[in-house]
């Protein structure tokens, strides 16, 4: 399909007249939309990469046939998961305490607080049978994203039913939900950012910067919840089951794969296949997406292999947004393996013709599965009627929030402590920095001839605008505008311009450069301008915080980063400029604004042909993200573990003695900071420039709204002093 797209794309380019008929049209869309939507270029590129990796994985796992094969696969899955998580914290005292109780007809609900890490408080409800004979089998019950945390009526229905049926059941508030909001606003009495998935991904961005994964905390909470469950004398440690729905299904898959104490697993509305996920809804929020997962050759069936040969049932909804066809694919693959190792009866799938949720039919299937494998008898009884408690009755803290009742640690404070450790041990030397940057952002440089296609020209007073497209790498086309002044030297200075809004929106700035006698190549790096993915109306709030979330996360899945890919687009754009007869290859500069500034900085660190840069509206530091509770549109510029090795001022320092302009640096919310504050933040960079005798080469400036920018651009492009 991608080859057909490329052929159509190039055919359309060559069919356009040499001179544009509409001189004010600086976009290519009027031509491109006739044959294909270029806005799908980046998703198609990434998805095709993922599909190739999944096909390679299929070839590797199709020979799993013995318990030894499965054990080896389990070890590999766990090794990769632990590496991606950043490892687990130390196992410290739980300091668990029961802070209240509710009595029901056949069970009791205890309100429990424990510490999964020191002073990192977890609020939980323990459902204990009051009939029958202990020790009872027990169910660990991680929660999904539905509102209310552990007080949600669906969870109460199932937890009360399990207790009535003779199971101890434990549910706890996940990070960012119930009593454990991390971005709690006392006036709103809810999270400052709204939905739990938004909160998870904001916090997850911080975790990624320090080399961890949000699931490091959420999985560990679940394992420590299991520690607490097993500390209770009412529980039989040999009969532990695990189930949850949606985000709880995610963590059922995770915990079952990593913790041998779980004997029976039943994730609901989660298990599917990445083949179908790529074709449909794409990656989900931070704790549900592991970087490098597809590159490492992993897919949903691997959660089952990490648990095999113990009993595992997939509880699925035919009309779920997690594709049912994917659940069937995973079951079919795993069924062959379970059959080969003599455990076919321990694997099952249940499908209900309904939508997402732990609906009654799936709950009944779960009771039956747990009865069969933890009690030795099928359970086909009706679901009992459960008396609902109010959120106030079930809460464990006085105010309903850990942050306002108990204080203690949050993921933010724990990330800050992780960062302090990293800074104390950071050993990256300046000479090693480019190599480390290349590794972290997974930059893959290309060399050799560059395919550039002319798409006509527009004549303006004093300059012309050529419409070009170049192929940054196979399958990635970069729409560009080349501004060429009529007068001046035969070899002119040139600026590569890249902005978050794209080449058309930045035309006035490009024209100011051109008016000063400078050649300008203004580009739509992938995912910007005309190549930006159309935003679905239902995801606009999410995109407001994270930008191009789907492509950013899919890139991580396949072992790429937006920063690395966009830096390549910029570097190849520099190749376009240096190949032009009008350009002095020794005077090629870069101007990056807003979302374009950070990729330009990376490109400049890695490509010495960029002799100076202006970074306009760039995030001042990654550390500021870790030190802020809320950030916006940061994710596209993040890769796992950046702060282990460098921050942005280290990248600027690596530019010395080349000229660097930092204009209107911003905080993590995109608010402009005064130059004095940016200067203070960049002390290390200023010192690095001074040590190289280039103190005058770094410029930290403010630019006021409405200020004439012509002097900025003229000074920036002036001949080397």
Segment 222-251, tens digit of pLDDT: 999 999 999 999 999 999 999 999 999 999
In this predicted model, what pLDDT tens digit does every residue of 602-618 receive, in sequence order?
A: 999 999 999 999 999 99
370/416 Cα distance (integer angstroms): 41
Pairing of strands 519-523, 476-485: antiparallel
Q: Where are the domains of the chain?
A: 67-421, 436-717
Q: Residue 170 phi/psi, 5° resolution?
A: -125, 125
Cis peptide leading into residue 135 (ω within 30°): yes
DSSP state of 356: S
* Confidence (pTM): 0.93
pLDDT value, residue 455: 83
CATH architecture of 436-717: 3-Layer(aba) Sandwich (3.40)
pLDDT value, residue 713: 77
Cis peptide leading into residue 657 (ω within 30°): yes
pLDDT value, residue 14: 32
In this predicted model, what pLDDT tens digit does every residue of 336-371 receive, in sequence order?
A: 999 999 999 999 999 999 999 999 999 999 999 999
629/413 Cα distance (integer angstroms): 10
Q: How would you class 416 by CB atoms within 10 Å of its CB: exposed for 0-12, middle for 13-18, buried for 19 or more?
A: middle
pLDDT value, residue 717: 83
- 67-421 and 436-717 share one CATH topology? yes
121/441 Cα distance (integer angstroms): 34
Cβ-proximal residues to 192 (8 Å cutoff; 6+ apart), any chain: 183, 184, 185, 629, 630
Is 90:146 a contact under the CB 8 Å cutoff? no
Instruction: Measure Cα distances from 459 to 18, 30, 61, 454, 599 in Å.
Output: 12, 19, 59, 15, 31
Query: Would you mind telling me the total number of residues written for the chain in this entry?
Result: 721
Question: Which residue bears the tokens 């940057």?
Answer: 437
Is 171:514 a contact under the CB 8 Å cutoff? no
Is 317:351 a contact under the CB 8 Å cutoff? yes
Residue among 386, 395, 381 nearest 154 (CA): 386
HEC profile of 603-642: HHHHCCCCCEEEEECCECCCHHHHCCCCCCCCHHHCCCCH
134/375 Cα distance (integer angstroms): 13
In sequence order, the β-bridge partners of residue 351 are: 316
Q: Which two tokens stand for residue 589?
A: 């500069």
pLDDT value, residue 714: 80
Instruction: Measure Cα distances from 278 to 40, 283, 317, 640 in Å.
Output: 13, 8, 19, 21
DSSP alpha helices (H): ranges in 464-596? 507-515, 540-546, 549-557, 562-578
Residue among 417, 396, 355, 376 nearest 118 (CA): 417
pLDDT value, residue 21: 34
HEC profile of 76-106: HHHHHHHHHHCCCCCCCCCCCEEEEEEECCC
Instruction: Measure Cα distances from 375 to 136, 137, 138, 166, 292 in Å.
Output: 9, 8, 11, 10, 39
What is the biggest distance separating any 2 CA atoms in the chain, rounded to whole angstroms?
94
Question: Which residue bears the tokens 């089998």?
Answer: 137
Residue among 367, 306, 356 nearest 327 (CA): 356
Cβ-proximal residues to 678 (8 Å cutoff; 6+ apart), any chain: 620, 662, 665, 700
pLDDT value, residue 208: 97
In sequence order, the β-bridge partners of residue 494 are: 519, 588
567/543 Cα distance (integer angstroms): 22
For the domain spanning 67-421, the CATH number is: 3.40.50.1820
Which residues in the chain show pLDDT less than 70? 1-25, 28-36, 535-540, 719-721
Q: How would you class 494 by CB atoms within 10 Å of its CB: exposed for 0-12, middle for 13-18, buried for 19 or more?
A: buried
Q: Which two tokens stand for residue 346?
A: 């321990």
């Amino acid at each position: 399909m991608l080859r057909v797209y490329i052929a159509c794309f190039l055919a359309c380019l060559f069919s356009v007249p040499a001179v544009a008929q509409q001189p004010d049209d600086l976009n290519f869309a009027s031509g491109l939309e006739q044959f294909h939507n270029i806005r799908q270029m980046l998703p198609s590129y990434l998805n095709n990469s993922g599909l190739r990796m999944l096909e390679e994985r299929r070839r590797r796992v199709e020979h799993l046939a013995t318990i030894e094969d499965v054990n080896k696969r389990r070890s590999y899955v766990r090794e990769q998961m632990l590496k991606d998580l950043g490892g687990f914290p130390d196992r410290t005292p739980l300091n668990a305490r029961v802070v209240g109780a509710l009595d029901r007809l056949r069970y009791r609900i205890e309100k429990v607080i424990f510490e999964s890490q020191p002073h990192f408080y977890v609020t939980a409800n323990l459902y204990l049978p009051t009939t029958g004979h202990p020790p009872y089998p027990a169910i660990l019950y991680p929660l999904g994203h539905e509102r209310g945390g552990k007080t949600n009526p669906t969870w109460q229905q199932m937890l009360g039913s399990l207790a009535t049926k003779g199971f101890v059941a434990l549910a706890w508030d996940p990070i960012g939900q119930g009593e454990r909001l991390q971005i709690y606003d006392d006036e709103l009495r809810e999270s400052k950012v709204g939905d739990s998935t938004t909160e998870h991904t904001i916090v997850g961005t911080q975790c990624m910067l320090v080399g961890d994964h949000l699931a490091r905390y959420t999985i560990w909470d679940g394992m420590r919840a299991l520690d607490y469950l097993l500390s209770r004398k009412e529980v039989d440690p040999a009969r532990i089951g695990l189930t949850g729905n949606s985000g709880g299904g995610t963590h059922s898959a995770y915990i079952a794969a990593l913790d041998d104490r779980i004997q029976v697993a039943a994730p609901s509305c989660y298990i599917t296949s990445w083949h179908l996920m790529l074709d449909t809804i794409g990656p989900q929020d931070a704790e549900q997406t592991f970087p490098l997962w597809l590159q490492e050759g992993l897919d949903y069936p691997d959660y089952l292999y990490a648990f095999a040969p113990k009993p595992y049932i997939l509880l699925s909804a035919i009309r779920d947004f997690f594709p049912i066809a994917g659940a069937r694919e995973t079951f079919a693959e795993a069924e062959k393996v379970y059959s080969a190792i003599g455990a076919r009866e321990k694997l099952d799938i249940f499908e209900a013709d309904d939508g997402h949720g732990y609906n009654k039919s799936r709950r009944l299937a779960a009771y039956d599965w747990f009865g069969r494998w933890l009690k030795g008898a099928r359970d086909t009884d009706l679901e009992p009627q459960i008396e609902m408690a109010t959120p106030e009755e079930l809460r464990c803290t006085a105010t309903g929030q850990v942050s306002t009742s108990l204080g203690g640690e949050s993921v933010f404070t724990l990330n800050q402590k992780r960062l302090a450790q990293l800074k104390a041990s950071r050993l990256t030397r300046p000479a090693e920095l480019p190599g480390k940057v290349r590794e972290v952002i997974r930059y893959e440089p290309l060399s050799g001839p560059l395919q550039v296609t002319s798409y006509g020209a527009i004549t303006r007073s004093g300059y012309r605008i050529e419409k070009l497209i170049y192929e940054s790498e196979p399958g990635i086309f970069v729409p560009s505008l080349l501004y060429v002044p009529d007068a001046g030297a035969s070899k002119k200075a040139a600026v590569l311009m890249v902005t978050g809004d794209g080449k058309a929106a930045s035309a006035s700035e490009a024209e100011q450069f051109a008016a000063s006698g400078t050649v300008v190549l203004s580009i739509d790096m992938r995912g910007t301008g005309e190549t930006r993915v159309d935003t679905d109306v239902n995801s606009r709030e999410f995109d407001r915080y994270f930008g191009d979330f789907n492509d950013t996360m899919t890139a991580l899945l396949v072992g790429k980063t937006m920063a690395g890919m966009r830096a390549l687009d910029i570097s190849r754009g520099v190749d376009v400029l240096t190949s032009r007869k009008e350009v002095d290859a020794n005077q090629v500069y870069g101007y990056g604004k807003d979302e374009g500034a950070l990729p330009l900085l990376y490109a400049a660190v890695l490509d010495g042909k960029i002799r100076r840069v202006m970074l306009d509206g760039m995030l001042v530091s990654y550390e500021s993200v870790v030190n802020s509770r809320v950030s916006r549109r940061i994710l596209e510029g993040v890769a796992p573990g950046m702060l282990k090795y460098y921050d942005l001022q280290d990248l600027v320092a690596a530019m010395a003695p080349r000229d660097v302009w930092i204009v209107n640096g911003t905080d993590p919310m995109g608010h402009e900071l005064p130059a004095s504050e940016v200067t203070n933040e960049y002390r290390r960079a200023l010192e690095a420039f001074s040590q190289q005798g280039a103190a005058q080469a770094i410029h930290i400036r403010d630019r006021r709204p409405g200020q004439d920018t012509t002097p900025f651009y003229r000074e920036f492009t002036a001949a080397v002093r």
